[in-house]
Structure 1
Amino acid sequence: MVKLRSTSEPFRMVRHVVWWSFLVLPVAVSVGIMVAVFLWLLEQATQLRHAQMWLIWLLPLAGVGIYALYHYWGQNSEAGNNLIMDEIHEPGGGIPFRMAPLVLLTTVLTHLFGGSAGREGTAVQMGGSVAEYIGKRLGLTRADQRILLMSGMAAGFGAVFGTPVTGAIFALEVLAVGRIKYDALLPCLIASLLADVTCNAFPIHHTEYTIAYSAKAALGYFSLDLVLLLKIMIAGACFGLASYAFAELSHWLKSTSHALISRKWLIPVLGGGLVLGISGIIGSYDYLGLGVRSPDPEGVSIVSAFSAGGADPFSWFWKLVLTAITLSLGFKGGEVTPLFFIGATLGNSLAMLSGAPVDLFAGLGFIAVFAGATNTPIACTLMGIELFGAENTVYFAVACFMAYYFSGHTGIYQSQRVAVSKFHTTESNESTLKEIKSARRRYGRGQEPE
């Protein structure tokens, strides 16, 4: 049993809060400013591409430029979010400060020329890079450096989506499947809040989403529609399977292209060509870029998915394929906003098929596919509350938890560790998702490392 000295404990608590507020302040403010600049540049690039659609035909050439930047200047920045996770788990070569401007520039280039990508990966990498730089300058211990890195991740995520509570929990939850270590809870929350406040101090506006459907209260208690709940459970399983498909396709494309193509600069050329070719075949460019809004009033986007008829039955599939190609074959950006698109459009299709509320299912897919792909069901449930309000919290949780389970032991971050198996009650040996995938190849699909 741990004995606490009651007279000294309050002073230690106050000192802890003051100390970490001081440490995360420069990280949070710096990241908030960088995210604001990044979001502004992203908006300018998107508007320019919409006005000058001929730019998309330069996507393969832009891919070669991105490859060159990372090849000659990137050092180990190519690993992206996985590098930050590896540094938190086992400090090694460090995170180069050049990661921040490099990923910002290359993500904007990807969006300018029509790559199907997101923005969270860029924000998180900027946060990790800044935190590493400041931590080294302050001469922090390894333990404190680890917490500061997590705070940088929280700051980037919270600021880029305007969801500070989600940002804090995401940074804690994403490191290991089935386990949250709360030693960095307060620093992550402070960093995420400060970064979001800093970002909002600039003329940056986050997209607002609305779910009109609301679970009605009866006699002061939450009243569940059991038929609707069953539909949500089935939809949650579908969201999880979509997460699984996206992660597996992304990893397969990356490993296969690197194994078959010896001249690595040709990989983004192939990727850009495939994105343009598939878009031409299906006759739509709605799946390029972020996909939050479409310049065509009849086009498919995340916003349109919240309305009946706002998505085609296979909209989610095309976004899944094009994003996997873009991010696996040499281009930069995040996966999360495309996952929002995949989830919202899949939710729209499932709602139309089952007769469920379209806006509710679009919102559930929005957060649940993300939950399955990142193995962060708690953070995504909170994201639903921050973005859509608390009226449908139970439905948010059911969809996210079902998606988390049905996505299996896979995910978009290969350095994520499995602390507790989804299918067993025993602790795992802290294998990474990459190691589990390798074990499946050796021992047969469905078996986990012992």
Structure 2
Amino acid sequence: MKVRQLSDSKGLSYLHLVMLSLYAILLGVLVGLIDAVFGRVLIGLSEFRDHHLFYLVPVLPLAGLLIVYLYQKFAGKAAQGMGLIFKVGHNEEDQVPLRLIPLVTVTTWLTHLFGGSAGREGVAVQLGATVSHAFSRYFKLPNASCIFLTMGMAAGFGGLFQTPIAATFFSLEVLTLGQLSLPILVPTLIASFMASTTSHLLGLEKFSHFVSKSLTIDLETFMKLALLGLAFGLAGNLFAYLLSLAKKKVASLLPNPYYRVLLGGVVLTCLLLILCKGRYTGLGTNLIALSVDGGTIYPLDWLFKLLLTVFTLSLGFQGGEVTPLFAIGASLGAVLAPILGLPISLVAGLGYLSVFGSSTNTLLAPIFIGIEVFGPANAIPYAIVMAFAYLINHKTSIYGQQKMLEMQ
């Protein structure tokens, strides 16, 4: 893995790093505050929806019309969402409009209130990146745009999920496959920790399920973990491939975004209500809890959640992909664990982190997610599973603007 040089050949000076670290404290507090508001409102709306499911989910197509109208009327470049963040990170664009913050926040709330199957991390990353990038113009640093964007992404991810180390490495490795932005490791870590601490103090709860018993690694267990890694890698890449394909196919079949979200929203509403009475609405945290706690998980839960999330996002509803990916991986793990004779909670955790990793083409971030969410006792199994999941096709990612390092 190559270290990405974010500045000129002389690199960042210690003075630059001190300045960035002090700024990271302010950034983390600010983004943590925004994450706390966004996250707590989202949780409240999701709980309200679960109690009034059959009244709210039928309104989803109308909510979709409002979402499309808001984006058509006000978005401009912000309509590119995570694509714009990646373009700025690659110096293909030089501005992230501040209107992205209220726009993506409100439309994601609408998606979840009325039952769309979507995530939230894309919103948090966009929020953090937008806030941080707005300050880059005030610092005379080489390649300040990319530096501040990376720090903001880490703060946004860390503040929402409260996994600051994972968030740090996610932002450092996700822009270009095979590279790490290590010159700004320390300020990025500070921003992530400050955001995580701030959101926690403001009442945003972290999901964690510590698995205290470590798995003994012998040849048989290693082979089982390798098979799991390949299975989870295929699931993650299936999600990324279908999401890219569905967006193109749906747009070609229904080029008018209003017809697309209205007609597709009607079909989506029917599917969400028919399939286990709303089991696959929202983030998918219900599936995660059932998986790690040994609850009832059906063999096709992971596939239904995958397909419905792809359909939701392809129609124009807003949100991220990561929490549904966690749910897909955890529920698939709960199905595979008895077949391989491994603990269900552990394999659910392995699926949780590795389906995310394979669909985002990240390696270190998912390993640290495992450590921060499920505890360090099984760090070696996390690494083994991710190593094999990482083998699967690197050309497919939920982030279409992600670039691959060219081999010298």
Q: Do Structure 1 and Structure 2 share a fold, with TM-score over 0.5?
A: yes
Which structure 2 residues correspond to residues 36-55 of structure 1 after superposition, within 5 A? 36-53=36-53, 54-55=55-56
Q: Which residue matches 2:353? A: 367
Contact 1:209 1:303 in 2 (8 A): no
Which structure 2 residues correspond to residues 149-160 of structure 1 after superposition, within 5 A? 149-160=149-160
Partner amino acid, structure 2, of 1:143: N
Q: Which residue matches 2:7? A: none
Of stretches 190-199 and 260-269 in structure 1, the one that deviates more from structure 2 is 260-269
Which structure 2 residues correspond to residues 122-161 of structure 1 after superposition, within 5 A? 122-136=123-137, 138=138, 140-141=140-141, 143-161=143-161
> Equivalents in 1 of 2:142, 2:314: separation in Å?
32
Q: 1:304 to 1:37 in 2, by over 3 A?
A: same
Partner amino acid, structure 2, of 1:260: L
Q: Deviation per CA, 1:385-430, whole angstroms, max 9, x where unpaired? A: 111111111100111121121244201000100115xxxxx34xxx
Which structure 2 residues correspond to residues 273-422 of structure 1 after superposition, within 5 A? 273-293=266-286, 301-420=287-406
Residue 309 of structure 1 and its aligned partner are, at CA, apart by: 5.0
Contact 1:27 1:134 in 2 (8 A): no
Which structure 2 residues correspond to residues 426-445 of structure 1 after superposition, within 5 A? 426-427=407-408
Q: Which residue matches 2:116? A: 115
Q: Which residue matches 1:249? A: 242
Q: Which residue matches 2:5? A: none
Contact 1:20 1:187 in 2 (8 A): yes
> Equivalents in 2 of 1:407, 1:304: separation in Å?
30
Tell me, yes or no, if structure 1 residue 232 matches structure 2 residue 225.
yes
Count of residues in correspondence between the two structures = 397
Q: Deviation per CA, 1:298-345, whole angstroms, max 9, x where unpaired? A: xxx101101445311000000000100111210111100000000000
Contact 2:88 2:145 in 1 (8 A): no
Q: 1:16 to 1:93 in 2, by over 3 A?
A: closer
Tell me, yes or no, if structure 1 residue 98 matches structure 2 residue 99.
yes
> Equivalents in 1 of 2:115, 2:333: separation in Å?
25
Residue 265 of structure 1 and its aligned partner are, at CA, apart by: 1.1
Contact 1:271 1:330 in 2 (8 A): no
Partner amino acid, structure 1, of 2:193: L
> Equivalents in 2 of 1:91, 1:22: separation in Å?
28
Partner amino acid, structure 2, of 1:125: Q
SS in 2 for 1:290: coil
Residue 139 of structure 1 and its aligned partner are, at CA, apart by: 5.3
SS in 2 for 1:406: coil
Partner amino acid, structure 1, of 2:167: G
> Equivalents in 2 of 1:39, 1:380: separation in Å?
21
> Equivalents in 1 of 2:82, 2:208: separation in Å?
27
Structure with bigger helix share is: 2
SS in 1 for 2:278: coil
Q: Give TM-score scaled by structure 2 length.
A: 0.93
SS in 2 for 1:76: helix
Q: Which residue matches 1:73? A: 74
Q: 1:35 to 1:349 in 2, by over 3 A?
A: same
Contact 2:128 2:156 in 1 (8 A): yes
Residue 23 of structure 1 and its aligned partner are, at CA, apart by: 2.5
Structure showing greater Rg: 1
Q: CA RMSD in A?
A: 1.8
Residue 91 of structure 1 and its aligned partner are, at CA, apart by: 4.3
Residue 128 of structure 1 and its aligned partner are, at CA, apart by: 1.1
Contact 1:74 1:102 in 2 (8 A): yes
Residue 170 of structure 1 and its aligned partner are, at CA, apart by: 0.5
Contact 1:340 1:370 in 2 (8 A): yes
Large movers: runs of 4+ above 3 Å: 139-142
> Equivalents in 2 of 1:46, 1:280: separation in Å?
16
> Equivalents in 1 of 2:271, 2:231: separation in Å?
24
Residue 27 of structure 1 and its aligned partner are, at CA, apart by: 2.3
> Equivalents in 1 of 2:344, 2:33: separation in Å?
36
Residue 92 of structure 1 and its aligned partner are, at CA, apart by: 2.2
Of stretches 86-95 and 246-255 in structure 1, the one that deviates more from structure 2 is 86-95
> Equivalents in 1 of 2:364, 2:204: separation in Å?
27
Partner amino acid, structure 1, of 2:361: N
Residue 278 of structure 1 and its aligned partner are, at CA, apart by: 2.1
By relative contact order (CA 8 Å, sep 6+), the higher-ranking structure is 2
Give structure 1 stretches of 5+ with no counterpart.
Answer: 1-8, 216-222, 294-300, 421-425, 428-450
Give structure 2 stretches of 5+ with no counterpart.
Answer: 1-9
